[in-house]
Structure 1
Amino acid sequence: MKILQVVESLAPRYGGPSVACPAMCREFARCGHETAIYSTDADGGGRLDVPVNLPLDGPPIRGVRLHYFHAWSFPPLYKFSPPLAGALRKTASSFDVAHIYSLYGFPTAAAAHYCRKSGVPYVIHPHGSLDPFLRTHHALRKAAYSRCFLPTIFAGAAAVMFNSAEELKLSRDAPELAHLDDPAGNGPSSVIVDVGVEEIFFSGPSEGVRHEFREKYPEWRGRRLVTYFGRLNFKKGLDILVAAFCAVAREQNDLHLVLAGPDGDGYGEKIRRWLGDAGMLERATFTGNVAGAERVALLQGSAVMMLTSYTENFGQAVAEAMAAGVAVIISDRVNIWPEVERARAGLVVPCDDDAAAAALRKILESPEAAREMGRRGRELALARFPWSAVGRQILAVYEKMIERSSRRRGMATSRVAASV
């Protein structure tokens, strides 16, 4: 199978797709499928330091052809890229299927357009963009884009991919999805597929890596770590997390907050002010993005991982924490929450400071119960989230899309022949 992935950017500041897309493509390559990623060099108001308009084959994604195309830096959210459009116009027809990430940007509109023209079936992957909470953010820009592009984009899609049943449920009333799962087959079908977790979260890093990583942060010695993974961003509920941590840290002197993630839009300054006003800034560490073996080392050295987001289409960091055997505290807006609750792998709370603080106290007061949560979470992750399992599910979706597209083309050809 020849698979095209179109993702607006692989810069860490953009979160989920920048991690999930390369990992998924590695799994496709391992299974023997020919895979290409088309992306841009957009990185906020700047650019990634990558070669553009040249196919890269090998590291950092072995077995996958990676193409970066230059994008205009203004407007930064739209990622307008004539070179990307040109490449899609020339090459879209050479692929069997396309996977298009996100909604509100030029790469999505361009990829959908050229796939439709070439008769290539494509799946749209909103990554939470249709959540009611996010629909109100940049509402005017999104309304204009929706009016101009989204009806055609969704009408031409073979499928719309969601990462949890909760994400699909919350997105159902979006006007753009009016024809989703139409009984007459006049719209795209919905599919639900988990986000995968890399093998290293299950196997863990070496003792040497764990030791070297901890040595970078001497302020952590003798401390119990409350860890957050993700972008420093308004939607992540960090106001709730910081308030809960400060309330409990006033009672327990050995707590330390670790905020591990890129600061894409200066939101970290707000967090520093909140911590400073509470007298807790010295009991927090901003590590920036932490990846690979060090990310696992940080998780395994944490007392608990917290994610109190206002919206989260899945919660990849939560799945990673469970794979590493760490108890989690998450909000009921992190859409993996039903799975966490059913597995008793952590505590689920509303988006409320006091509720989050109470959950943190409960975890910290019973280390044995927390270890048992971690064990159950690891069992869930092993059963559901290895990329080998998730990759098979996505490949099955692609195969159905191709089969459906071929059947429709055959029917259209038959109708034309009958009319002659």
Structure 2
Amino acid sequence: MKILRIITSMNPEGGGPCQGIRNSIPALQKLGVTNEVVSFDDPGADFLKHDSFKIHAIGQPKGPWLHQPELIPWLLENLPHYDAAIIHGLWLYHGYAVNKAMKALSGKNIRLPKVYVMPHGMLDPYFQKAPGRKLKALRNVLYWKFIESKVINNADGVLFTCQEELLLARQTFSPYRPKKELNVGYGIQAPPAYTTAMDDAFKAACPQLSGSYILFLSRIHDKKGVDILINAYIALNKDNKLPTLVIAGPGLDTPYGKEMAELAQGNTIIFAGMLTGNAKWGAFYGSEAFILPSHQENFGIAVVEAMACAKAVIISNQVNIWREIKEGNGGIVEDDTQQGANKMLKQWLNMSNEQKIEMGLNAQKIYETKFSSEKAAVQLLNRIK
């Protein structure tokens, strides 16, 4: 079987979807499935040089819609070479282009791939209700009416990373009539085994750190609940006896990021910037626990990466895999509010070392049984065959 992934960019700074593709493809290759990617990237981009699978980088797009005029001609020529095509993400030109190309090809006597859409949480009602998104929400309603509803409803199926995402997607837009709703799961590759080089790399990236720490690793963005995390930490750390809070990820140079840096001043809070490679794994392995009080998280790759490293996860119930984590006692789950963040941190701090270690081992078991890339690959293949 040969699958084409269509995504706007494979730049790892873009977050989840491109990392999900990179996690999925090696496991599918072991099952005899070939994957290729078409993206709106500069063919000479450094981040494209390390992937083992074929990426057709057709050049950077223009404008907020990410319009790339080369995509439709490329699709018209190449779509018949694949058994399935998966559109990753919504609201941009690539979904429209695939729908238009499939319509143009459907009248010809040629074999065409099945087309699936993977929203990656972009049908979550949060984005229509969140404060500060009123204009974007109105734009989405109009875009849904004229373009995106056709992309979704004309596809052979919509792929979801977990059951929570599937159920939430039904609440947001109308008409919503997908031919199939398929919970294909999601997974990550097993983390590399711990080495001292990882520890060294993390210490080099975070030289001011000493002692134990709790790790936040994600974009510094208001959606991630960084403000309520910092406020909860400050409220509980009046005597400066808590583990250091390490906040790692891009976004410190944004207005929100600068506001968070100012809020954290005078406290044992370190902003480590974006961590990759050994530095990232060193941060996971060396942490007491991972924390993410997000207001919306479709899956949370970093959450599962922490679990795979046998770390308990402290998360809000807006991270869509919270049910699996709570049922397996692999972490602490509360509301995505200031009170919820306070309760999560307080509960963790009141646990014994033995309880913390046990919760981390539980988290690792949940990863192995539910969120490994091998299990997700089998599930995806069974759903789209």
TM (norm. structure 1) is: 0.83
Helix, strand or coil: the match of 1:306? Answer: strand
Matched residue, 1:238: 226
Q: Distance in 2 between matches of 1:93 and 1:49?
A: 27
- The alpha carbon displacement at 1:348 in A equals 0.5
Matched residue, 2:269: 284
Q: Deviations over 1:215-274 (max 9, x none)?
A: 44232122x212111112221111111111222222343532212222288131121122
Distance 1:71-1:141 versus aligned 2 partners, 3 A rule: farther
Alignment of 1:398-417 (within 5 A): 398-399=384-385
Alignment of 1:10-409 (within 5 A): 10-41=10-41, 50=45, 59-62=49-52, 64-75=53-64, 78-118=65-105, 119-136=112-129, 137=133, 138-176=136-174, 178-180=176-178, 188-200=179-191, 203-222=192-211, 224-263=212-251, 266=254, 267-276=256-265, 279-280=266-267, 283-366=268-351, 367-399=353-385
- The alpha carbon displacement at 1:303 in A equals 1.3
- The alpha carbon displacement at 1:51 in A equals 8.1
Q: Distance in 2 between matches of 1:92 and 1:28?
A: 20
Helix, strand or coil: the match of 1:211? Answer: helix
- The unaligned stretches of length 5 or more in structure 1 are 42-46, 181-187, 400-420
RMSD of equivalent CA atoms: 2.2
Q: Distance in 1 between matches of 2:153 and 2:125?
A: 21
Q: Deviations over 1:60-105 (max 9, x none)?
A: 221x110122233422xx2111122221122112111001111100
Helix, strand or coil: the match of 2:116? Answer: strand
Matched pairs, number:
372
Helix, strand or coil: the match of 1:9? Answer: coil
Distance 1:116-1:3 versus aligned 2 partners, 3 A rule: farther
8 Å CA contact 1:98, 1:123 repeated in 2: yes
Q: Distance in 2 between matches of 1:261 and 1:160?
A: 30
Matched residue, 1:415: none
8 Å CA contact 2:252, 2:273 repeated in 1: no
Q: Distance in 2 between matches of 1:39 and 1:323?
A: 29
Distance 1:86-1:250 versus aligned 2 partners, 3 A rule: farther
TM (norm. structure 2) is: 0.90
- The alpha carbon displacement at 1:175 in A equals 2.8
Distance 1:176-1:51 versus aligned 2 partners, 3 A rule: farther
Q: Distance in 2 between matches of 1:51 and 1:288?
A: 20
Helix, strand or coil: the match of 2:66? Answer: coil
Matched residue, 2:108: none
Distance 1:176-1:289 versus aligned 2 partners, 3 A rule: farther
Matched residue, 1:414: none
Q: Distance in 2 between matches of 1:48 and 1:65?
A: 12
Q: Distance in 1 between matches of 2:238 and 2:57?
A: 48
Q: Distance in 1 between matches of 2:92 and 2:253?
A: 18
- The alpha carbon displacement at 1:141 in A equals 2.4
Helix, strand or coil: the match of 2:273? Answer: coil
Q: Distance in 1 between matches of 2:77 and 2:7?
A: 18
- The alpha carbon displacement at 1:130 in A equals 1.1
Distance 1:212-1:105 versus aligned 2 partners, 3 A rule: closer
Letter in 2 for 1:371: I
Distance 1:176-1:121 versus aligned 2 partners, 3 A rule: farther
Q: Distance in 2 between matches of 1:220 and 1:303?
A: 14
Q: Distance in 2 between matches of 1:238 and 1:271?
A: 7
Q: Distance in 1 between matches of 2:70 and 2:253?
A: 27
Q: Distance in 1 between matches of 2:128 and 2:84?
A: 28
